[in-house]
């Protein structure tokens, strides 16, 4: 009878640490999944916010180029190239879009490495 009692004690002690280990591992995996999901969501929001800011900066830069071209008034007959960053190969092409009925429009295009990017158009205003 002592042998039987000793065997039961050995069998009872052995499975408990394995169960605790599996439970701990499951808890660690669930926590890692939660932290990973939070990190991905936060990183995605930061990336989207950065893109939004860059878009608004580009629009402001293009509008500034159009305002610069509007100061020339009627003198702006040919295309105008305004450098933004010569080392990086970035500039703005500004041109007048003529139409049959006044006023004409001015188009500004952001160019990087000889590839046109974002463009905006605004009505042309004179110097007066």
Examine residue 22 and state whether it is found in any structural domain, yes or no. yes
Q: What is the pTM of this model?
A: 0.63
- The whole-angstrom separation of Cα 93 and Cα 13 is 79
Examine residue 58 and state whether it is found in any structural domain, yes or no. yes
Instruction: Note if the bond before 103 is cis, omega within 30 degrees.
Output: yes
pLDDT at 8: 52
- The whole-angstrom separation of Cα 26 and Cα 32 is 10
Examine residue 39 and state whether it is found in any structural domain, yes or no. yes
Examine residue 128 and state whether it is found in any structural domain, yes or no. no
Q: What are phi and psi of 23, to 5 degrees?
A: -65, -40
CA dist list (Å): 67 to 38, 73, 123? 44, 10, 11
Residues in the chain: 128
Percent of the chain with pLDDT over 70: 81
- SS3 (DSSP) at 95: strand
Residue the block writes with tokens 């999901």: 37
- The whole-angstrom separation of Cα 108 and Cα 95 is 7
- SS3 (DSSP) at 87: coil
- The whole-angstrom separation of Cα 128 and Cα 124 is 12
Examine residue 97 and state whether it is found in any structural domain, yes or no. yes
**pLDDT tens digits, 43-101:** 989 999 999 999 999 999 999 999 988 888 767 777 888 888 888 889 999 998 887 77
Domain residue limits at 43? 2-123
Domain count, the chain: 1
């Amino acid at each position: 009878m002592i042998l039987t009692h000793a065997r039961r004690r050995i069998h009872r002690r052995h499975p408990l640490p394995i169960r605790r280990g599996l439970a701990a591992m499951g808890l660690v995996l669930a926590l890692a999944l939660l932290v990973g999901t939070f990190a991905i969501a936060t990183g995605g929001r930061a990336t989207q916010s950065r893109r939004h800011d860059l878009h608004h900066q580009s629009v402001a830069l293009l509008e500034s180029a159009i305002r610069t071209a509007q100061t020339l008034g009627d003198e702006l007959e040919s295309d105008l190239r305004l450098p933004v960053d010569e080392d990086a190969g970035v500039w703005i092409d500004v041109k007048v879009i003529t139409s049959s009925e006044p006023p004409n429009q001015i188009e500004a295009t952001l160019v990087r490495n000889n590839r046109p990017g974002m463009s905006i158009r605004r009505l042309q205003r004179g110097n007066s």
